Structure 1
Amino acid sequence: MSKNDSATTSNSKRKPVVLMSMGVHERKGHLYQVMTHKYITPVVDFAGCVPLLAPTCCGPDDIEQYLDMVDGVYLTGAGSNIEPSLYGQENMTPEKGQDIDRDMFDMPLIRAAIKRGLPIFAICRGMQEINVALGGDIYQKLYAEPGFNDHRENPNDPVDVQYAQSHNVRLKEGSWLAKLLATEEIGVNSLHGQGIKTLAKGLEPLAFAEDGLVEAFHAPSLSNFLFAVQWHPEWQAAQNPDSVKMFEAFGEACRQRQSKQVSSAA
């Protein structure tokens, strides 16, 4: 076996690596970089990938080096909001936590990942980050906007109740997502106070809430796999066949990217 054949065989056994950007959390006067288990485990269990957690507190200078090491990017939700000045607005929720380090890391990360053709899967805050990074904006107080429902959870409810099915979303007829899930409507949880206002150029809606809010999008003109949802498919994903299919699709996109890179290097 030649050296190239040996390297190809070794690479074929390697699981795809997925970059996950972490976020800030303050505890007893100390700042931590964190990522909750519920986001990590579906990437391992259903996408079949290895997570690589990147601290955002050190700035964006090493983004290209991070991307050299991965086959996909996974943008999770978080308790913080995106800095409104990044989409041309004043802050209407100063009482809500923010994470400017994550903003400053994820915005260039998204653009660089798209430029490289890396698969991207985004959830909740991550979905909003993609929209802002590409020039769109969001409703800061969706619950106060005429015609929209209150999509927030009750903070006093137990976690299982907060993440329980809250409303249905209608999948765009004939879309990639409708074909993936083999249906035109699914029930989802809802834990967000903000939402998509104006979709950025290149993004196409895949699902809508009952009040018309964009709940999922992709970007076929920009990427072979860029998929974002506003709800939380990571929550108890093993008990939700729709969630499993989404993570499996992301994992397959990462494997295809990995295989392409291996072929190019051979």
Structure 2
Amino acid sequence: MARPVVGIIGNQYLINDQYPTHAGGTMNSEAVSHVADCVPLVIPSDPRIVSVDELMEVCDGFVLTGGRPNVHPEEYGEQETEKHGAFDRARDAIALPLVRACVARGQPFLGICRGFQEVNVAMGGSLHPEIRELPGRMNHRMPPDGTLEEKFALRHKVRFSENGLFHRLMGAREVMTNTLHGQGIKRAGARFVIDGWADDGTPEAGYVAGAPGFTLAVQWHPEWDAANDPVSRPLFEAFGAATHAFAAERRAAPVARRA
């Protein structure tokens, strides 16, 4: 039987500052294929091209990837400022309603970095535009120089709630993660449970309470070295298991209706 299909939310980029593309990082596809054991499919995240309903029929699960553009503050009722950075309103128009639809249907998704923030905003939460400017916070942004290995190196601890969902999944209360983000959660959305924090109090892990499907999201980038990292691997394996289960149930449904 064919592997389940995971839609990887793409970002808009210009190649050579001229040619427009929809793209997803290779490491996302590798993690989906090699660790979650699913077929990766990069999605052109633009409502002029695809609809949420179509995506949910084509794909069994979704990875909400990181990306340089930020969720537009109008999506959580605030005014745009220079600190909010670049935006991708087309992705906003796909990703936010997709999160809400998946929560309602029980279709699995994994949120990563911007994806973590999208889940929060989709559930009614808000974001800080620049958390390193908040009192007592560290700089969570990607180092400007160095190799990829240096940029994705483990840089801070994340502590999970005692006996919480992430604690049980990881088998540890505290883990080390990379960090490559400028924004962070200001107010948690309704039902979005913050289940992990950096030492400076920045929310780093969460899920949607009461959702019938897999809704885990993290602020770091677990796609980096996902096959070997002891924190990344169980996260993608759990997402893959949930996607396989959803796909099997969906494929069995037409047979049950015909019986």
TM superposition score category, shorter chain reference: over 0.9
User: How high is the TM-score relative to the length of structure 1?
Assistant: 0.91
User: Which is further off, 131-140 or 107-116?
Assistant: 107-116
Identity of aligned residues (%): 33
Question: Is the contact made by 1:119 and 1:253 (CA closer than 8 Å) also made in structure 2?
Answer: yes
SS in 2 for 1:122: strand
1:133 counterpart residue number:
122
How far apart are residue 97 of structure 1 and its match? 2.4
Q: Separation in 2 of the partners of 1:18 and 1:261?
A: 14
- Correspondent of 1:22 among 7, 10, 19: 10
SS in 1 for 2:227: helix
Could you say if the C-alpha distance between residues 148 and 95 of structure 1 is closer, same or farther in structure 2, counting changes exceeding 3 Å? closer
User: Which is further off, 57-66 or 254-263?
Assistant: 57-66
Q: Separation in 2 of the partners of 1:39 and 1:93?
A: 29
Q: Separation in 1 of the partners of 2:83 and 2:168?
A: 41
The amino acid of 1:125's aligned partner reads R
Matching of residue 41 in structure 1 with residue 47 in structure 2 = no
1:201-221 CA-partner distances (Å, limit 9, x unpaired): 111122111011110001231
2:251 counterpart residue number:
262
1:30-74 CA-partner distances (Å, limit 9, x unpaired): 211111101111000010001122212353752201211221111
| Structure 1 stretches of at least 4 aligned residues deviating more than 6 Å after TM superposition | none
Matching of residue 69 in structure 1 with residue 36 in structure 2 = no
1:241 counterpart residue number:
230
User: How high is the TM-score relative to the length of structure 2?
Assistant: 0.93
- Correspondent of 2:163 among 174, 183, 187: 174
Matching of residue 56 in structure 1 with residue 42 in structure 2 = no
Unaligned stretches of 5+ in structure 1?
1-12
1:102 counterpart residue number:
91
SS in 2 for 1:138: strand
Question: Is the contact made by 2:160 and 2:174 (CA closer than 8 Å) also made in structure 1?
Answer: yes
1:5 counterpart residue number:
none
Root-mean-square deviation (CA), in Å?
A: 1.5
SS in 1 for 2:210: coil
Matching of residue 197 in structure 1 with residue 186 in structure 2 = yes
How far apart are residue 92 of structure 1 and its match? 2.7
Matching of residue 116 in structure 1 with residue 118 in structure 2 = no
Q: Separation in 2 of the partners of 1:36 and 1:169?
A: 24
